[in-house]
Structure 1
Amino acid sequence: MDVSRSVAEVAYLENGILKSGGRVGLRRDELKQFASQLRPDDHVVLEATGNTAAIVSVLQAHVGRVIVANPLQVRLIAEARVKTDKIDAAILAQLYASGFLPEVWIPDEATQAMRRQVSRRAQIVRQRTRLKNEVHAVLAAHLIERCPATDLFGKKGRGWLSNQLLPTDERMGAEQRLRELDRLGEDLREIERVLAQSVMEDGRLRKMLTIAGINTTVAIGLLSAIGDIGRFRTPGKLVSYFGLNPCVYQSGSQPARHGHISKRGRSYARAMLVEAAWAAAQSAGPLRAFFLRIKDRRGQQIAAVATASKIAITVWYVLTRDAAFAWDRPALTAHKLRSLELQAGLSSQRGGRKGSAAAYNLKSVRDQERAVAEQAERTYQRLFSRWKQAGPKNSRSQ
């Protein structure tokens, strides 16, 4: 099926014979009528588009298998000068029959719902950032100094803003943006509450929170992107899925050249990993030692991307082995989990009872955990220093 917004072109391939099946409407009733005419052992192939999930949910109950193809890789394999819906449908059928169809994993309903919520959250965050930038631009246009408060959009910042001399129209525009900012803030808290409730009992998230730099928002975003970790056979596959793998150029006898990262895959998950890398660079431990080593050679931007790739590899091992990060800081992890509970809407504990994250409030506990992490960081630095002094082994001498 070559799917567009409202119709799909159908091609049938049976016993090596290809024939056209005409067009099928993509209303739910039209799809159900089409699916009822298919056999239980039929396989249906279509490319990934915006409405693929809904089409798959209708067809799955009537056929043996529904396969979703990667549209980018299909075009790379079978790009044609003459391109029509009929030809595209026929190419999908022939690629699948010959075993060359690049398939896409179909997530379950819970993962799809999580992905939609994460996407909505990212959209709201972008809108809030745009509104804040517009307010800052208004102040800069009228030569108003920076706000002395840490947060211009907090209580103190808004009080300072209301006392600034602005033209009437600009003041109305700023107030309108502040009201929109508050409304989006309410929507953001509601989405975060739903996301937190959906992963409260997920053991994978608890393991991921043990990794330095990963907070609840990043962990939820990565879980929605990864889905079933079993579909990634190696950590390199997961890195490639996030688009953090370098492009490689090699021809003939020339040595391979590595370029920029591919930036293919889920962009929001890649951005979250980079965000986690910057956080890990501020926290003592082996990940910060890795960041600093790359920073000294290539600069901090490349170091952040390399650390993001290292965190993705760590995530693969943590989820595959179902084990916590080796350099977990238990009190900090308990603090993260407690933040998740509060985000999900659970009541705060009162009455003098100690909660699960009470140890994190003790400076002695935090200092002790930080000292262990700093020791691990120094160990990593010494290990790399010895490796660098020794240099790579000469393969001819072995």
Structure 2
Amino acid sequence: MKMYVGIDVAKDTLAVALPQTTTNWKVRSIRNTPEAIRKLINELPDQSHVVLEATGSYSVLLTYLLCQAQVAVSVINPKQSHHFAQLQLAVTKTDESDAVLLARYGQLVQPPCYTMESDVLLRLKQKRTLLRHFKKQQRSLANLQHAFSPLPVQDERVASSLQQLISHFQTAIAEVTAEIDQLTTQHFPDQLRRLTSIQGISTTIATALIEVTSGFAQFHSAKALAKYIGVVPVIYQSGKSQITKGICKTGDPHLRSLLYMASWSAIRYNKPCQALYQRLKAAGKAPKVALIAVVNKLLRQAFAVVKFKQDFDPDYQPVLRSFPCFLT
């Protein structure tokens, strides 16, 4: 019988709720370090199933070591535990109570097991995050340089320092971009080639899709992929009223912006996307609404070429068929 263990993750500590009976847990706190986590893993009961929240970098070490030790683990969205706490009418929020809440969530909901990303994908995520920060810093410095340019009296030392920093970030951006391209080409050559065969999807977008989706490994439908990235409409219906509240925006905002920009290219060069855009515009849809529909079309095309292992064919006629499961 599975025994659900709830772990609330903080920067320096982990609150662990170990089951004593089906309704009681013993809660203790340990350090969020490799040594303490390995000791905890050795002390876990047989058939333990750990439940924790996704808390960015702080939870990755714990998840990584649990998966290495082949301990069943579920990583849930913090929104899920928050709404579960509201369902339980919880009025207390501490690390200890959150750990017990996660254990109870595991018992009642029995969430699916999490599959840890490969070391290559973990490195790719870090490099893409670093690249975004480099570009942000470069834009900030370039804006500052532009703001100083009309001043009647300019400090040469300031101008020189700004130019040196901008040049430094340009070099760093080029180096990190080359490393990302090398990693993707080396470890995901087929996916990269098939994704870039779609008109509108560049190498940058293809690399971002591979990184964000873990190589499309955990998705069984294009709709689930679009929801994960955050481009599906939010529909509110009650009685006679039905309101569409834009898109859900649940995923990576940087990837969403890249896909939105890609839709402008797709409506010019991608025949199915062009036909969809023109049809929606003729039906009276707003341009942005039609472009978001094109983004969804691009994601369906990306999902199809990766899942069915075929290059993009703009004249392809869809047929009903099953696709292989990546989790086997």
For normalisation by structure 2, the TM-score amounts to 0.84
**Which of 266, 276, 285 pairs up with 1:280?**
266
Measured after TM superposition, the shift of residue 316 of structure 1 is: 1.2
Which runs of structure 1 show a deviation greater than 6 angstroms over 4 or more consecutive aligned residues? Answer: none
Deviation at 1:200, TM superposition (A): 1.6
1:266 partner amino acid:
D
User: How many Å apart are 1:101 and its aligned residue?
Assistant: 4.2
* C-alpha distance after superposition, 1:26-52 (max 9, x if no partner): 122222222222245322221111221
Task: Report whether the alignment pairs 1:175 with 2:160.
Answer: yes
| Deviation sequence 1:214-261 (CA, Å, 0-9, x none) | 11111101110111424222211111001001111012x325321211
Amino acid at match of 1:227: S
The structure whose Rg is larger is 1
CA contact (8 A) 2:191 2:306 kept: yes
Post-superposition CA distance 1:101-136 (Å, at most 9, x none): 487653222212111111111121222222222223
| Conserved? CA contact 1:73–1:102, under 8 Å | no
Show the counterpart of 2:305: 318
Q: Which residue is 2:76 aligned to?
A: 69
Q: Post-superposition shift, 1:63?
A: 5.4
How far apart, CA to CA, are the structure 2 residues paired with 1:111 and 1:198? 9
CA distance in structure 1 between the partners assigned to 2:288 and 2:85 by the alignment = 37
Correspondence 1:199 to 2:184: yes
2:203 is aligned with 1:216: yes
2:4 alignment partner in structure 1: none
Q: Secondary structure at the match of 2:16?
A: strand
* Closer/same/farther in 2, CA of residues 225 and 304 from structure 1, 3 Å limit: same
Q: Distance in 2 between matches of 1:43 and 1:229?
A: 25
1:98 partnered with 2:108:
yes
Deviations 1:298-335 (A, max 9, x none): 443333322222211211111111111112xxxxxxxx
SS of 1:256's partner is strand
The answer on whether the counterparts of 1:277 and 1:307 sit within 8 Å (CA) in structure 2 is yes
> In structure 1, what is the equivalent of residue 319 of structure 2?
none
* 2:141–2:162 CA contact under 8 A, matched in 1: yes
Matched, 1:268 2:274: no
- The Cα shift of 1:285 comes to 2.8
| Contact 2:15/2:99 (<8 A) preserved | yes
- Is the contact between residue 214 and residue 276 of structure 1 (CA under 8 Å) also seen in structure 2? yes
Does structure 1 residue 9 correspond to structure 2 residue 15?
Answer: yes
1:306 and 2:313 aligned: no
Query: What is the total number of aligned residue pairs between the two structures?
Result: 302
Provide the C-alpha distance between the structure 1 equivalents of 2:280 and 2:142, rounded to a whole number of angstroms: 34
1:59 Cα shift? 2.8
Aligned to 1:226: 213
Q: 1:87 aligns with which of 83, 97, 103?
A: 97
When residues 214 and 303 of structure 1 are mapped into structure 2, their CA distance, relative to the original with a 3 A threshold, is same
Please give the alpha-carbon distance, in whole angstroms, between the structure 2 residues aligned to 1:84 and 1:286. Answer: 52
Deviation by residue 1:58-83 (Cα, 9 ceiling, x = unmatched): 23344531221211222122233211
> What residue ranges of structure 2 are gaps of 5+ in the alignment?
1-6, 316-328
Give the whole-Å Cα distance in 2 for the aligned partners of 1:19 and 1:101.
19
Q: Which residue of structure 1 lines up, in the alignment, with residue 65 of structure 2? A: 58
1: CA distance, partners of 2:280 / 2:255: 22
C-alpha distance in structure 2 between counterparts of 1:315 and 1:206, whole Å? 11
Equivalent of 1:47, from 53, 61, 66? 53
Partners in 1 of 2:252 and 2:116 — Cα distance?
15
* Counterpart for residue 241 of structure 1: 228
- 2:227 & 2:163 partners in 1: Cα distance? 40
| Residue equivalent to 2:171 | 186
> Would the alpha carbon gap of residues 180 and 299 (structure 1) be closer, same or farther in structure 2, given more than 3 Å must change?
farther
In structure 2, how many angstroms separate the alpha carbons of the residues matched to 1:177 and 1:278?
A: 34
Q: 1:130 aligns with which of 140, 156, 168?
A: 140
Q: Compared with structure 1, are the counterparts of its residues 29 and 210 closer, same or farther at alpha carbon in structure 2 (3 Å cutoff)? A: same
Deviations 1:254-281, CA, capped at 9 Å, x for gaps:
2532121111112222122112112223
Whole-Å separation in 1 of the counterparts to 2:42 and 2:217: 33
Residue 51 of structure 1 aligns to a residue whose secondary structure is: helix
Using a 3 Å threshold, how does the CA distance of structure 1 residues 294 and 138 change in structure 2: closer, same or farther? farther
Q: Tell me whether 1:36 sits opposite 2:42 in the alignment.
A: yes
Alpha carbons 2:73, 2:114 under 8 Å: kept: no
Structure 2: how far apart are the matches of 1:77 and 1:256? 27
Q: In 1, are the aligned partners of 2:195 and 2:306 still within 8 Å (CA)?
A: yes
Q: Distance in 1 between matches of 2:220 and 2:101?
A: 28
1:115 counterpart SS class: helix
Deviation at residue 205 of structure 1 after TM alignment: 0.8
Question: Could you tell me which amino acid in structure 1 is paired with residue 130 of structure 2?
Answer: R
